[in-house]
Amino acid sequence: MSHVIAAQAGKGLSTLWRIMVLTWRHPWMVIITILSCFISSALQLWTPVLLGQAVDRAEGVLDGGVGAADALWTIAMILLVVSILRGLFTMSMNYFGEAVGHHTAYELRLAVYEKIQRLSFSYHDKVHTGDLITVGMLDLEGVRMFFATGLLRVILLGTLIGVGAYMLISTDWVLGLLALSFAPFVAVNSSITQLRLRATWLTLQEMLQNLSRVMEENLGGIRVVRAFAGGRHEMHKYNEASDAALELAHERVNIRVNSTSLMNVSFFISMGLVLWYGGERVMAGQMTVGTLAAFLTFMTILQMPVRQLGLLVNSFARASTCGNRLFAFLDLDVEIKDEPGAKPLKLGEGTLRFENVDFAYPSAPFRPVLSGISFEARKGETIGIVGRPGSGKSTIAHLIPRFYDVTGGRVTIDGQDVRALTLASLRQAVAVVQQDSFLFTTNIENNIAYGDPWAKEARIARASEFAQLHNYIIGLPTGYETIVGERGVSLSGGQRQRLNIARSLMLRPAVMVFDDSTAAVDAGTEQRIRTAMKRFARDRVTLIISHRLSSLMHADQILFIDEGRVVERGTHEELLALGGRYRALYDLQVKPGDDQLEAAE
Amino acid sequence: MTEATLNTEDDSEDRNRRPPRAVVGSSLDREEEVFGKAYDPRIVRRIWAFVKPYRSQIYLSVAAVLAFTLTQLAFPLVIRYAIDNGMAQGGGGRSVLLWCIAGFAGLIAINFAASWVQETVVGKAAENVLFDMRRAMFAHLQRVSLSWMDKTEVGRLMSRLMGDVNSMQEFLETSVLSVGDIVLLFGIVGVLLWLDPLLGAITMATMPILFIVRLFWLPPAKVSFMAAHHTNSSANGALAEGINGVRTVQSLDRQQVNFDLYEEKARANLRAHLRAAKFAQVMVPIVDTLTGISMATVIVVGGQMVLGRQLDVGVMVAFLFYIQRFFDPIRSLTMQYSVFQRAMSSGTRIVEVLDVPVSIEDKPDAVALSRDMDGSVEFRNVTFGYRKNQPVLKNVSFRVNPGETVAIVGPTGSGKSSCMSLVHRFYDVWDGSVTVGGHDVRDVTQDSLGAEVAMVLQEPFLFTGSVIENIRYNKQSATREQVIDAARAVGAHDFIMSLADGYDTKLEQRGGNLSLGQRQLISFARALVADAKILVLDEATANIDSYTEMLIQKALKRLLEGRTGLVIAHRLATIRGADRIIVLQNGELLESGNHDQLMEKQGLYSRLYTMNYSSFDDLPENAEDMVATAVGKAT
Ligand SMILES: Nc1ncnc2c1ncn2[C@@H]1O[C@H](COP(=O)(O)OP(=O)(O)OP(=O)(O)O)[C@@H](O)[C@H]1O
Ligand SMILES: Nc1ncnc2c1ncn2[C@@H]1O[C@H](COP(=O)(O)OP(=O)(O)OP(=O)(O)O)[C@@H](O)[C@H]1O
Ligand SMILES: [Mg+2]
Ligand SMILES: [Mg+2]
């Protein structure tokens, strides 16, 4: 699992160091890249020297022209070989430089994906999906590019500029200084510019994220938008986000252009100076035309790298911001994970117990959602839960498979605290039919078999029969191969819920929770599901959360929850006899009529 | 179909082998490979329509690019002149050199101005075009029919709105530069031939070689670049799915399976990128070799000519200068070519979005539903479906009189929500008509329909933003008091006040920090604030307890005074206040009438009704048969 090691590599070091450590996980490629880099820049620096010699030979200034023709041939051949070698080494430098990045990206990608899958619900509650996508795509890209566009360029430019400057100055220091006079200016200018661009880039990225959030929510909630004829309102939101981003984009163009134009100018000015001063020297006979030509060629060679200094600064800045975010994400503590010494669940009787459970969501720690919930359910028993919206019913369901951890008390299965169990064994033993189901954009079969992709077709068909969905599916032209559309849009509300039930039936849980999962199903169909489930329930603990009392009146125990507390408990008959809130609810549902309304109050 | 069969280990196969049917990433995501033609005049014309408003800027910047290129071409010539006519023996000496320097300075000035103008103008124009394009797409999507949206994934649209539009930007910015490259290429050829036709011709002998090499290189290279692009979007799609569905993944303990599948994608992506990098880099030594050959030629041939005094040394220097620049335009033009290719495929995808037919559109003479229309709704022989030849509603007719509240009930999948979609004209009927306030919905403006028909959808959707923004939504005129009144009416006020910032509490994505019932209440309040003549409630209280529901109903009695209500519910207690009940089954209207009439009829309604209240234990022996008849066909 190389990605796990990669994700941990260099933890605790500063961001850039950490990227280097990651890079060094591919030492051979790095070494080849750097060697190629040295060789190719040396070869590149040799070119102008050869050209200068050639010009001088041709002019016959050396040795009075004796043997000039042969010398030209020699120079030409050397030049050819140098060019070819330079090409080859540049290729190897670029290729391996990129390859290092891609290998690093591959490992990081896996690490990010795994982290996303492991981070607990409370994390996903507070982070917008768009932001996570940014981390997994853009930030990762910034880190990937660092070696090729940052680190490697430092070596390349350092060699080219350093050695080049030395060669120029040692040949003729005045001319050398003139030829290099543009470099510091350009370097400073472009660095400042890139830093400014970088700063605005972050703002721009935020604005674009905002813009895409507006678009994404609009498209995701398109039915609401249409239902309220909110097109104009949405365009208004869009324009607000878009105009701000456009303005900033224009500003960035200005920053960038001012700087590149100035860089060009400063380069050509120093070229003009070289020409002027060098021309004077040549006329005075203190210098050959070839040397002058070599100087000018050097300058063209240096022009690119000096300009790239800006990009280099950008790459460093980008790697450090992106890396900061990426590593912060990878280093996040997973709140809910296997505790040290966690054991797989050992199923015996299959008894579920809540012991004095308190809970508050991590995002609102001072708003208790559950207080002092206790109950016990044995194998074959059914617990019904009723209560107002927001009373904490789904929260109870979330605590059993440890989507969240209790803040007080404990939840046990067969006496084993769920926190002491391995997550995998726990979640296989607890199936929650979630209230708010998420279907994948794939076909019906894959959706049903999501929790058990090895399952045989017959079993899938049986699960969907149990959920009373089979007949509908085989009536479709493409049957089980039908794609359900994004989040199941091409299904009716009840069909989505039944698909969700079928999906959970594929597991073989010891505890099964139906969280309001037949709210959109008619009484008849629900009755059938219940009949099928009666046999299924014999082997496990079943929790049924529902607002429809007929769904849970047969339960062995019914809990009436209000504001996170059990306010009434007992069997249907006991609760009716109690004449409390459950009774009022029952009367409301069973005996329609205005007189009942008054009574309920 | 027994417990035993569902639960035996009838498939105790090797769980280590690759799961046969698992996938990550959307199944719709087989992104059509838009290799397409390299050049599709239709697409170019459509894109040009966006550039056109800025054409004066484009012309200006093309002119600037030309000026810029010409100065680039002229610099070596000045150098050559200075060498040959200034520095050489018998040349003009100092004054010529000074003139050359002056000329050089002039060129610098022009170069600066030209590059500044060109980059600023093009940069800004490109951004403008980009934002215009995105806005046009987004605005168009606001009008596209829902039947198209149903089949399309948000993620895919987003990648068109962001990704494809961005790759157009790259193209727009560089395409002006490529004009300069072409000029530079021809300019260099011209100048070389002009300086010395023979030497020029020999030097440029390498150029066709490069062209030929490029010709062979391009097709496979293009495929590898495309492959890299595709594996990227495929891996990213899987990542996005992993994020969106993470709760389901965790609760079904699918992490390992997904991880393995994702790893396959990531590995394919790695391989494709390495391959693409090979293709990109293999050109480097070729170009460098050809440059080397050309330079060697100049040195040998040109050098001999200089020796023989047939050629000025300055010309030789100029040649060496030009050769170094010579391959730049070719290189960047071929780069341009792949940018162009990419832009064409992006352009195709953008145009595809812009071309999605708007099948539901206001008629030119559409009337606006006015406030004081009577609020009646009528279905006349409506037939409708989503898929060809599979009608979901068959010949349904009913009328809801002004001020009436009518309930629609029926087994799941019978077409209740579809009816409501038709009232709002989310879709057009196949046959028959739907009228609202006496007007066929096809004859009224959609805006006015939206303003007069408020809906609570079966699936509550909340936007990121505060509670109050969500309740108010597009009814900007609603005061805070009105919002609070609506929240009170649906019994949401208390829990909203208990949130950290009351009505100004920011909701997480899709309202994730609320319970489902709470989300439903807010979406209910939103419909009340809209203050419409007709209120459509599609299972608006399905996730709400009967007591709260009763309170809502009492409040609604007051609020719905003089308005028309359409209510869908499975919990039959919900609809007790309805004036009339319509029973749908399998897309057909089965019966209608008030509660007592329907109970008397002993039809589906009365069966569903009794079932609603029968307890589990007194389920009749023949329950399955009975329900089968009731529900059988419908499901
Ligand atoms: N967007 C769609 N594309 C294709 N088919 C659809 C679409 N929406 C609904 N259907 C199909 O049309 C039929 C009727 O669906 P509809 O949503 O109207 O049912 P419903 O009566 O509201 O059911 P429920 O009570 O389950 O919500 C169903 O079989 C459903 O699969
Ligand atoms: N992810 C979350 N973060 C913070 N608070 C939450 C979160 N989920 C729910 N809550 C709050 O916790 C309380 C209990 O929510 P829960 O979902 O358990 O209610 P419920 O009883 O299932 O209601 P419903 O009948 O509407 O489904 C509510 O007040 C809700 O606002
Ligand atoms: Mg709930
Ligand atoms: Mg429906």
pLDDT tens by residue, B225-257 = 888 888 888 888 889 889 989 999 998 888 888
Nearest CA-CA partner of B612 in A191, A394, A586: A586
The SS3 call for residue A142 is: helix
Token output for B25: 């990433």
Q: Looking at residue A347, what is its pLDDT?
A: 86
Is A165 found in the same domain as A180? no
Q: Is residue A448 part of a domain?
A: no
pLDDT of residue A84: 95
Do A205 and A126 lie in one domain? The reply is: no
| pLDDT score of A355 | 94
Annotate B499-555 with DSSP letters as a single string.
STTGGGPEE-GGGTTS-HHHHHHHHHHHHHHT--SEEEEESTTTTS-HHHHHHHHHH
Is A220 part of any domain? yes
Q: Is the dihedral of CA A406, B512, A117, A135 positive or negative?
A: negative
Q: Is B17 helix (H, G, I), strand (E, B) or coil?
A: coil
B13, part of any domain: no
DSSP annotation of B144: S
B457 with B574, same domain? yes
Does A293 map to a domain?
Answer: no
Res B400: pLDDT: 92
pTM of the predicted protein model? 0.88
pLDDT confidence of residue B31: 47
Q: Is residue A463 part of a domain?
A: no
State whether B114 and B235 are in the same domain.
Answer: no
Residue A152 lies in a domain: yes
- Indicate if B341 and B433 belong to the same structural domain: no
Angstroms from A357 CA to nearest CA on chain B: 19
Number of domains comprising chain B? 3
Identify whether residues A423 and A533 lie together within a single domain. Answer: yes
Based on the domain organization, do B187 and B209 belong to the same domain? Answer: no
What CATH code is carried by the domain that includes residue A77?
1.20.1560.10
Give the ligand at the shortest distance from the Cα of A391. 2
- Does residue A90 belong to any structural domain of this protein? yes
Q: Is B290 left (phi over 0), alpha (psi -120 to 50) or beta?
A: alpha
Same-domain check for residues A98 and A130: yes
How far apart are the CA of A150 and the nearest CA of chain B, in angstroms?
18
Tell me, what's the pLDDT at B633?
37
For residues A366 and A329, membership in a common domain is answered with no
Same domain, B104 and B116: yes
Q: Do A508 and B7 touch (CB under 8 A)?
A: yes
Question: A248 and A147 in one domain?
Answer: no
ipTM of predicted complex: 0.89
Torsion angle in degrees (nearest 10) through CA of B555, B560, B564, B570: 0
Phi, psi of B545 (to 5 degrees): -75, 160
Best mutation target, A119, A441, A511, to test chain B (most B CBs within 10 A) = A441
One domain for residues A99 and A131 = yes
* CATH code: domain of residue B62: 1.20.1560.10
Rounded CA gap, A384 and A201, in Å? 54
* Alpha-carbon span B570 to B590, nearest angstrom: 16
B20-76 confidence digits (pLDDT tens): 777 777 666 554 444 445 567 888 888 889 999 999 998 998 999 899 889 888 888
Q: Which of B304, B461, B500 sits opposite A364 (nearest CB)?
A: B500
The neighbour count for residue A577, using CB atoms within 10 Å, is 11
The span from the CA of B149 to the CA of B159, in Å, is 15
Q: Are residues B392 and B509 in the same domain?
A: yes
Residues B105 and B52 occupy one common structural domain: yes
Helix axes B165-195, B55-81, angle to 10 degrees: 30
Query: In which band, very low, low, confident or very high, does the pLDDT at B616 lie, cut at 50, 70 and 90?
Result: very low
- Does B523 reach chain A within 8 Å, measured CB to CB? yes
Structural domain that includes position A278 = 173-286
Closest to B525 in 3D by CA, of B582, B482, B578, B568: B482
Q: Average per-residue pLDDT in chain B?
A: 84
Looking at the fold, whether A416 and A402 belong to one and the same domain comes out as yes
pLDDT reported for residue B486: 92
Determine what percent of chain A falls in helix, strand and coil, rounding each to the nearest 5: 65, 10, 25
Contact B112 A116 (CB under 8 A): no
Which of A59, A432, A448, A454 is most worth mutating to test chain B (most B CB atoms within 10 A of its CB)?
Answer: A454
Q: Collapse the DSSP code of A417 into the 3-class scheme (helix H, G, I; strand E, B; otherwise coil) and give the result.
A: strand
CATH code of residue B500:
3.40.50.300
The percent of residues in chain B predicted with pLDDT above 70, rounded, is: 90
Shared-domain flag, residues B628 and B500: yes
Of A350-354, B25-29, B150-154, B432-436, where does mean pLDDT reach its minimum? B25-29
**pLDDT average, residue stretch A349-378:** 92
> Is the CB of B459 inside a 6 Å radius of any atom of ligand 1?
no
% chain B with pLDDT above 90:
28
| Pocket flag, ligand 1, residue B458 (CB < 6 Å) | yes
Residue showing tokens 């969240």:
A404
Domain that holds residue B249: 197-310
The residues pairing with B150 across neighbouring beta strands, listed in sequence order, are: none
pLDDT, one tens digit per residue, over A532-548 is 888 888 889 999 999 98
d(CA A565, CA A358): 9
Pair (A159, A124) in one structural domain? yes
Contact pairs from chain A to chain B, CB under 8 Å: 589
Comparing CA positions, the residue from B277, B49, B312, B31 lying closest to residue B164 is B31
Q: Is pLDDT above 60 for A596?
A: no
Q: Please check whether residue B371 lies inside any domain of the structure.
A: no
- Alpha-carbon span A536 to A168, nearest angstrom: 87
Question: What are the tens digits of pLDDT across the range B521-550?
Answer: 999 999 999 888 999 999 888 888 888 888
Instruction: Decide: B289 and A83 in contact? Cβ < 8 Å.
Output: yes
Number of independent structural domains in chain A: 3
CB contact under 8 A, B108 and A265: yes
The CA distances from residue B271 to A131, A546, B225, B442, B476, in Å, are: 27, 51, 12, 54, 53
- Give the mean pLDDT of A436-456: 89
d(Cα B440, Cα A30) in Å, to the nearest integer? 71
Pairing state between β B431-436 and B439-440: antiparallel
Tell me, yes or no, whether A201 and A320 share the same domain: no
Answer for the pair B420, B584: CB distance below 8 angstroms, yes or no.
Answer: no
How far away is chain B from the Cα of A71, in angstroms, using its nearest Cα?
Answer: 9
B-chain residue closest to A126, CA distance = B508
Greatest mean pLDDT among A302-311, A578-587, B426-435 lies in B426-435
For A411, phi then psi, to 5°, come to: -115, 130
Q: What is the pLDDT of residues A15-63, one digit of tens each?
A: 889 999 999 999 999 999 999 999 999 998 888 888 888 888 887 766 6
**Pocket around ligand 2 at a 6 A CB cut-off:** A 125, 361, 363-364, 369, 387, 389-395, 435, 516; B 495, 512-518, 543
B256 and B395: one domain? no
Using CB atoms, which residue from B258, B570, B619 is nearest to A521? B570
Chain A residues with CB-CB distance to B73 below 8 A: none
Least confident of A33-42, B201-210, B286-295: B201-210
Query: Is the pLDDT assigned to residue A316 strictly greater than 90?
Result: no
Instruction: Give the strands of the sheet with A382-387, arranged side by side.
Output: A430-433, A511-515, A541-545, A382-387, A557-562, A565-570
Whether residues B246 and B149 share a domain: the answer is no
Which ligand approaches the C-alpha of residue B414 most closely?
A: 1
What pLDDT is attached to residue B314? 84
CB contact (8 A) between residue B296 and residue A483: no
Interface contact B255-A118, CB threshold 8 A = yes
pLDDT score recorded for residue A82? 95
| Position B31 in a domain | no
**Atom nearest to A564 CA in ligand 2:** 14
Q: Identify whether residues B47 and B158 lie together within a single domain.
A: yes
pLDDT confidence of residue A61: 63
Q: Does B406 reside within a domain?
A: yes
pLDDT of B609 strictly over 80:
no
The residue of chain B nearest to residue A87, with distances taken between CA atoms, is B285
Work out the pLDDT band at A402, boundaries 50, 70, 90.
very high
Question: In Å, what is the CA distance from B383 to each residue of B26, B386, B419?
Answer: 32, 11, 10
Candidate ranges A435-444, B111-120, B132-141, B589-598; pick with highest mean pLDDT: B132-141
Q: What is the pLDDT of residue B618?
A: 39
Quote the CA–CA distance of B125 and A151 in Å, as a whole number: 34
Residue A54 lies inside a defined structural domain of this protein:
yes
pLDDT recorded at residue B92: 67
Residue A490: predicted pLDDT: 87
- Quick one: average pLDDT of A59-74? 75
Write out chain B residues lying below 8 Å of A128, CB-based.
464, 508-509
pLDDT score for B27? 63
Q: How far apart are the CA of A331 and the centre of ligand 4, in A?
A: 44
* A399 and A527 assigned to the same domain: yes
Average pLDDT, chain A: 87
A342 within some domain = no
In a domain, B588, yes or no: yes
Q: Which residue has the tokens 């007949």?
A: A471
Residues A144, A182 share a domain: no
Q: Are residues B412 and B437 in the same domain?
A: yes
